[in-house]
Amino acid sequence: MTNLQRHMDPAEFVQRGWVDEEGNQNAAFKTPEQGAATSTLIAGSPLVDGVTGRYFEDVNEAEPYDPASPAKGSRPTRSTPSRPSGSGTCRWT
């Protein structure tokens, strides 16, 4: 996890399933390095030099998610942490 959660109550981390009772992070979370890997690849790798109009996810080219066609394939199935609902969500005004 990053420092974005610094103002949250640590008990909420456990409640949301982000960490266990001992403070161990949920394995579904990426490290900051893992989170930056795709952007770093796209920014600096000669493997994608001249490639435009493509979608990349988890350091691989991927099909964009299209909620209108779930039969074509839904979001990749991987264990994901609980998402916040209600409090803590961002609202643009």
pLDDT digits (tens, 9 = 90+) for 51-61: 888 888 888 88
The answer to whether residue 77 is domain-embedded is no
Domain extent at residue 43: 3-64
Q: Where are the alpha helices (DSSP H) in 1-93?
A: 10-15, 32-44
The answer to whether residue 55 is domain-embedded is yes
Distances (CA, A) of 65 to 27, 35, 72: 23, 18, 10
The answer to whether residue 83 is domain-embedded is no
Number of domains in the chain: 1
E runs forming strands in the chain? 55-57, 60-62
The answer to whether residue 23 is domain-embedded is yes
Query: In the block, which residue shows the tokens 């779930």?
Result: 70
Q: How confident is the model over 18-48, as pLDDT tens digits?
A: 999 998 989 888 888 998 999 998 888 888 8
Instruction: Give the closest residue to 28 by CA, choosing from 37, 18, 20.
Output: 18
The answer to whether residue 60 is domain-embedded is yes
Residue 49 has pLDDT above 90, yes or no: no
Stretch 66-93: mean pLDDT: 51
Specify the pLDDT at position 5.
Answer: 82
The answer to whether residue 38 is domain-embedded is yes
The answer to whether residue 86 is domain-embedded is no
Residue 64: pLDDT band (50, 70, 90) is confident
Specify the pLDDT at position 80.
Answer: 45
Specify the pLDDT at position 11.
Answer: 92
The answer to whether residue 79 is domain-embedded is no
Contact indicator for 82, 16 with CB cutoff of 8 Å: yes
